[in-house]
């Protein structure tokens, strides 16, 4: 399934945030959205998900405008992974994942604990043994994986992930990125936002640079993420190095520290 975003203008009523955003996301592809705080990443995602009405342009799934789709139909194709949050009530991880089945069940139906899609989602992320733990008592990384499992239980074709690596420790960031590339290999289209350009190098097929609500660049990571582009949107100096013997790239920010002779003497 292909997600097409066409000349999308987005924002809150009376407060436009961005416009002219267009991109296409095909099956198995990962697009990484980079942009500074306040550039409109979350607002863009909310509009793609139909939580905010587009202020212009349209969102299509396989060519069909989704504006008129009922929520249930949309949720069977397009799933959302929010940032790992603290829940208000201590639902079991199993129950949280089962909530992903809502769009696939009748209005009055209740899913069973043996629901196969939910169990498969838990197993595919390697967190089956967390099923009987309260969501409020697991770690941030485990919560993020649980929310991904909930989205997978929707059996979607497109995943929208809002900063899935934010506030995770180093190991969990890597683990979540690994899962994302695995999901893409299974044919799911993924669009995620991140604050770390290195994550884009690790998992993205293409990178979209969003600044001030406009798409500044859309292309392969090594084309999109350049010292000039990062300087422009983040306002900091960054060197981009290629690791010897590989084509892996990393960003190394250069701190603008005063030279020793400029420091005040103690």
Partner 1 sequence: MSTVRRWRATTRFGPWLLPVLLGLLCLGALGVGPFPVTPAQIVELAAARLLGVPAEVPEIVETVILQVRLPRIAGALVVGAALAAAGAAYQGLFRNPLVSPDILGVSAGAGLGAVLGIFLSLPVFGIQLLAFLFGVVTVGLVYLVATAVRGREPVLVLVLAGVVLGALAGAIISLLKVLADPYDQLPAITFWLLGSLAVLTPDDVLAAAPLVLIGLLPLHLLRWRMNLMTLGDEEALTLGVDAARLRLVFIAAATLMTAAVVSISGIIGWVGLIMPHIARMLVGPNFERLLPAAMTLGAGYLLIVDTLARTMAATEVPLGILTALLGAPFFLWLLARGRHGWQ
* Residues forming the site for partner 1 (CB under 8 A): 12-13, 46, 49-51, 70-76, 78-80, 82, 86-92, 95, 99-100, 102-103, 107-111, 132-134, 136-137, 150, 154
* CA-based radius of gyration for the chain: 20
Q: How many helices (H) and strands (E) does the chain have?
A: 9, 12
CA–CA distance, 247 with 220 (Å, rounded to integer): 13
Residue 43 has which token pair? Answer: 């607002």
CA–CA distance, 34 with 93 (Å, rounded to integer): 30
Instruction: Judge contact between 75 and 102, C-beta under 8 A.
Output: yes
Please, which residue, 132 or 222, has the CB nearer to partner 1?
132
Please, which residue, 85 or 248, has the CB nearer to partner 1?
85
CB of 257 to partner 1, least distance (A): 41
Please, which residue, 162 or 211, has the CB nearer to partner 1?
162
**Largest Cα–Cα distance in the chain?**
73
CB of 167 to partner 1, least distance (A): 16
CA–CA distance, 81 with 97 (Å, rounded to integer): 12
Q: Which residue has the tokens 């941030």?
A: 140
CA–CA distance, 7 with 226 (Å, rounded to integer): 25
CB of 259 to partner 1, least distance (A): 48
Count, residues in the chain: 266
CB of 165 to partner 1, least distance (A): 19
Residue 28 has which token pair? Answer: 């198995």
Please, which residue, 50 or 140, has the CB nearer to partner 1?
50
Please, which residue, 107 or 255, has the CB nearer to partner 1?
107
CB of 203 to partner 1, least distance (A): 22
CB of 147 to partner 1, least distance (A): 9
Please, which residue, 28 or 134, has the CB nearer to partner 1?
134
Q: By three-state DSSP, how is residue 253 classified?
A: strand
CA–CA distance, 238 with 90 (Å, rounded to integer): 43
């Amino acid at each position: 399934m292909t997600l097409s975003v066409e000349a999308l203008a987005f924002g809150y009523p009376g407060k436009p945030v961005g416009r002219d955003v267009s991109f296409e996301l095909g099956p198995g592809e990962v697009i990484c959205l980079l942009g500074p705080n306040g550039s409109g990443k979350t607002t863009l995602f909310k509009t793609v998900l139909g939580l905010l009405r587009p202020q212009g342009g349209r969102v299509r799934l396989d060519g069909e405008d989704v504006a008129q789709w009922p929520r249930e139909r949309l949720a069977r194709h397009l799933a959302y992974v929010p940032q790992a949050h603290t829940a208000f009530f201590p639902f079991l991880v199993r129950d949280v994942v089962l909530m992903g089945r809502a769009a696939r069940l009748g209005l009055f139906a209740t899913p069973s604990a043996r629901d196969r899609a939910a169990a498969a989602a838990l197993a595919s992320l390697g967190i089956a043994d967390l099923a009987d733990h309260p969501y409020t008592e697991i770690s941030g990384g485990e919560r993020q994986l649980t929310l991904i499992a909930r989205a997978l239980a929707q059996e979607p074709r497109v995943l929208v992930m809002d900063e899935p690596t934010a506030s995770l420790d180093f190991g969990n960031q890597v683990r979540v990125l690994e899962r994302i590339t695995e999901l893409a290999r299974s044919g799911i289209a993924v669009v995620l936002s991140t604050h770390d350009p290195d994550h884009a190098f690790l998992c993205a097929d293409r990178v979209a640079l969003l600044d001030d609500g406009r798409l500044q660049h859309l292309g392969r990571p090594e084309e999109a993420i350049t010292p000039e582009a990062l300087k422009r949107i983040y306002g900091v100096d960054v060197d981009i190095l290629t690791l010897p013997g590989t084509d892996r790239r990393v960003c190394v920010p250069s701190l603008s520290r005063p030279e020793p002779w400029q420091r005040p003497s103690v």
